[in-house]
Amino acid sequence: MKQILQIGGRECLLYTEGEQQPQVLLIQTLGAQERGSIDSEVEMISETTGTSFVMAAFAIDDWEVELTPWHDPAVSKHQAVGEHAGETLRYITETLTPYLHQEYGDFPIVLGGYSLGGLFSLWSGSESDSFAAIAAMSPSVWIAGWQDYARQHPVKTPYVYLSLGDREEHCRDKAIAQVGNNLRWEHEHLKQTLDPNHTTLEWNTGNHFVDGARRTAKGFAWCVNRIVNRK
């Protein structure tokens, strides 16, 4: 079942999958690109996991401003970029999460996203202990200072899924080309921080713009299966 609701002043697409009581609550950042594929993504998660869940995809109006955790001119020269990710995280923890818990029960939450949504999700997993798992697909960890931040801010979530396309680091932009090295580093760092079986780095075929819905569904499904089956 799909609903379109206003929750705390933001548009949310709310999906209820499965005939049983949900076992997990999924939260996803929803940009313009995701809107055209979110239905099929949710269907893929359901088919892969066989688990009842609720997905809340909340609208992001300005991708860079609302999701970038700190300013980096390589992301954007606009000064507002890097100043509002904390507001987005507070919306999740103080508005959306309480709503979901009230409506569906106090079930574990997986936060995930693609690209800047993946970076934001990964950053949120170090800023808040509200999440049972983080799914970061093609996260923009090429942002300046990511490794320094990650060293100083250990993750507060038990499970972290990472993925990247195998062509994403082969680009002309020198900043973005660091994404592969930084994500490999992040994975090794997480293996030292978490149980090594509680994190993974999956490589997909193609560049940043290939099969986003399928990649996102795979990430959420990995997290759901780990939480439900306690692997």
Residue pLDDT, tens place only, 128-148? 999 999 999 999 999 999 999
Residue with the two structure tokens 């978490």: 194
Encoded amino acid at 49, one letter? T
| Biggest CA-to-CA distance, the chain | 49
* 187 Cα distance to chain centroid: 15
Residue with the two structure tokens 């997480």: 190
Distance, in Å, from the CA atom of 63 to the CA atom of 31, rounded to the nearest integer, reads: 7
How crowded is residue 88: how many other Cβ atoms within 10 Å of its Cβ? Answer: 20
Q: How confident is the model at residue 20 (pLDDT cuts 50, 70, 90)?
A: confident
User: Where are any strands of DSSP class E within the chain?
Assistant: 2-7, 10-17, 24-30, 53-59, 109-114, 133-137, 159-165, 199-204
CB 148 within 8 A of CB 126: no
Element (H, E) at 227: helix 212-229
- pLDDT, residue 231, reads 52
Element (H, E) at 215: helix 212-229
The percentage of the chain sitting over the pLDDT mark of 70, rounded to a whole number, equals 99
Closest CA to 168 of 199, 211, 131: 211
- pLDDT, residue 80, reads 87
Q: Per-residue pLDDT tens for 49-97?
A: 999 999 999 999 999 999 999 998 888 888 888 899 999 999 999 999 9
Q: Per-residue pLDDT tens for 147-158?
A: 999 999 999 999
Distance, in Å, from the CA atom of 38 to the CA atom of 70, rounded to the nearest integer, reads: 27
Distance, in Å, from the CA atom of 151 to the CA atom of 221, rounded to the nearest integer, reads: 27
Which two three-digit tokens encode residue 141?
Answer: 């960890």
Select, from the ranges 73-87, 131-145, 166-180, 217-231, the one with the highest average predicted confidence (pLDDT).
Answer: 131-145
What is the side-by-side order of every strand in the sheet holding 53-59?
Answer: 2-7, 10-17, 53-59, 24-30, 109-114, 133-137, 159-165, 199-204
Residue 165 has pLDDT above 60, yes or no: yes
Closest CA to 75 of 116, 114, 113, 123: 116
Q: How many helices (H) and strands (E) does the chain have?
A: 9, 8
Average pLDDT over residues 195-210: 92
